[in-house]
Structure 1
Amino acid sequence: MAIHTVDVNGVEQRYHLYGQGDAVVVAMPGGPGVFWDYLRMPGVEQHARVAYVEALGTGESGRLPTHPDGYTRELYARALDRVIDDLGVARVFLLGHSYGGFVAQYYAATRPARLAGVILYDSAPVTGAEQGAEAGRQVELFVKRNEGNPEVPAVLEALQSVGSITDDDKLTAALRGLLPSYLADYWGREAEFAPLRERLRVAYISGRDADGNPEIIDDRELLPRITVPALVIAGRYDIICGERWAREIHELIPGSRLVILEHSGHLGNVEEPERFGDAVLRFIAANPK
């Protein structure tokens, strides 16, 4: 493992390089603001080098003068430009998870020459009211699946609190509190997932540009313009960026591949690591640089 830093218009961007092999995967985490390490993919690292981006505004990477505002997809795309420059390879596979998927699909549409392929992992074509309504439906299904579990009310309380929290520590506590809703079977595998829950961290990022305007995403016109090879991955039980959105992205991107992880929620890389890693590695092998 090696830690690298690059400069993005005077702000320090860190990334963590793991693995071995000729192919390079650049991994953009979600949130925005969730610390990078939950996204580790050891199975992929056995056959490819993986550069995990410690996104601007989180961890030891720098913060903008306008923090917590200003972290737009274009800013993150410019940061990815610098990471790829520093890696010194002609083209990479870009993997984006959750909000990182929003960044990755934007990057693939605007900078295709830099990519050997894009992996949209638990992403969606839109944010806002439409995505919120679908998330509400999925939360109801989560409650039904866990009927009678005395811990469910606390999870729902954490979910409901997230939108009003601006403090990093309180937001981290809320993320840990809601984690069972993000997994297909948290309580059935609690001993396995509890350590992940304890180490999750997040920094508050507002989702607004430097002028304080919210960045609303609707990529239904952008996605058909993606010309690089694309793999779409989602968990069957993902409550926020699940199967409905994965199938829509798959239909919108010409020639894309779709993988639904049958026993995963929002974190298939830890819930079904072998199937997740196999899907990523097969995609890489099918699209040599």
Structure 2
Amino acid sequence: MECVANGLTIAYRREGVGPPVVFLHGAAGDGRIWAPQFADLTDEFTVIAWDEPGAGGSSDLPHDFTLADIADVLAAMLDSLDLGPAHIAGNSWGGTVLLEFYRRHPDRVATLIMIDTYAGWKGSLPADEVRARVAGARMMLSVRDEAVDPTVSGLFASDPPKEVARLLATITADVRPDTLRRELAIMAEADLSDLLPRITVPTLLIWGRNDLRSPLTVAHRFHEVIPDSTLVVIDDAGHLSHLERPEQVNHAVRQFCHAHPPSGSV
């Protein structure tokens, strides 16, 4: 499916009937990365996953786009779907987009679900770690074939299942390097930590215990400062816990969404 949002063509997948749960993918990803959630949650929820601008089947990311622009495109897309307040979930970079979306469009959010994410790199990681990640990203993107390694350290607690590795290889083969450069530049400078204590909707934090990209210290900080937050730690999972341990993640999402239905839902 696709729609036009703020002048851009946005591809998305929508399945199921029930309260809406919207999933936002990480950098070097697209909506296909939520396949295990579509496979399990559509029996009770309307599950939606977009390809953000510059990813998957969506229009290229305009070169001057900011984090706020991306959040506004998401708002326009959801308006076109006439969903009302929704559960909004994001992994990694997608969680940073989620926070900016909440900052700018809180009336569209029933709950927040943050999965192994950041309040921007600057807002969650030590300065030396941010510098190291920026340097690493530049080196990766300078490689001639501009390939992205889907098994980068910290994404998984152990070797990913073959079907997950195949899915990631397919997705990363379609990554647009210009999009990834822009996402990483935005992430390196983003600091949304000031927003965390001002979140007023129920918030679910799902973290892989073995996440090396966004370590548990980030999750505990989020849990400490977000007033109405619940932390679920997934054993034997890394940064992509929703792929590595989908049963546990989906169970946590299902329970949380049942406990906090959007206004007007039965």
Q: TM-score, normalised by structure 2?
A: 0.84
Query: What residue in structure 1 maps to residue 148 of structure 2?
Result: 174
**1:64 shift after superposition:** 4.0
The structure-2 alpha-carbon separation of the partners of 1:26 and 1:170, relative to structure 1 and needing over 3 Å to count, comes to: farther
CA RMSD of aligned residues (A): 2.9
Alignment of 1:77-226 (within 5 A): 77-128=71-122, 130=126, 133=129, 162-166=137-141, 170-171=145-146, 173-176=147-150, 178=152, 181-186=154-159, 190-201=161-172, 202-204=175-177, 205=179, 206-207=181-182, 216-226=189-199
Q: Distance in 1 between matches of 2:51 and 2:143?
A: 16
Name structure 1 gaps, 5 residues minimum: 137-158
**1:103 shift after superposition:** 1.0
Query: What residue in structure 2 maps to residue 53 of structure 1?
Result: 50
Matched residues, percent identical? 26
Q: 1:21 aligns with which of 4, 11, 17?
A: 17
Query: What residue in structure 2 maps to residue 246 of structure 1?
Result: 219
Query: What residue in structure 1 maps to residue 4 of structure 2?
Result: 6
Q: Indicate whether 1:288 and 2:258 are aligned.
A: no
Query: What residue in structure 2 maps to residue 150 of structure 1?
Result: none
Query: What residue in structure 1 maps to residue 59 of structure 2?
Result: 62
**SS at 1:52's partner residue?**
strand
**1:164 shift after superposition:** 2.6
**1:251 shift after superposition:** 1.2
The structure-2 alpha-carbon separation of the partners of 1:12 and 1:43, relative to structure 1 and needing over 3 Å to count, comes to: same
The structure-2 alpha-carbon separation of the partners of 1:259 and 1:6, relative to structure 1 and needing over 3 Å to count, comes to: same
Q: Deviations over 1:189-242 (max 9, x none)?
A: 543533234323222222379xx9886122221111111111111111111113
Q: Indicate whether 1:39 and 2:50 are aligned.
A: no
Query: What residue in structure 2 maps to residue 232 of structure 1?
Result: 205
**1:185 shift after superposition:** 1.1
Between 1:126-135 and 1:238-247, the stretch displaced more is 126-135
Name structure 2 gaps, 5 residues minimum: none
**1:121 shift after superposition:** 1.0
Q: How many residues align?
A: 254
Q: Which structure: larger Rg?
A: 1
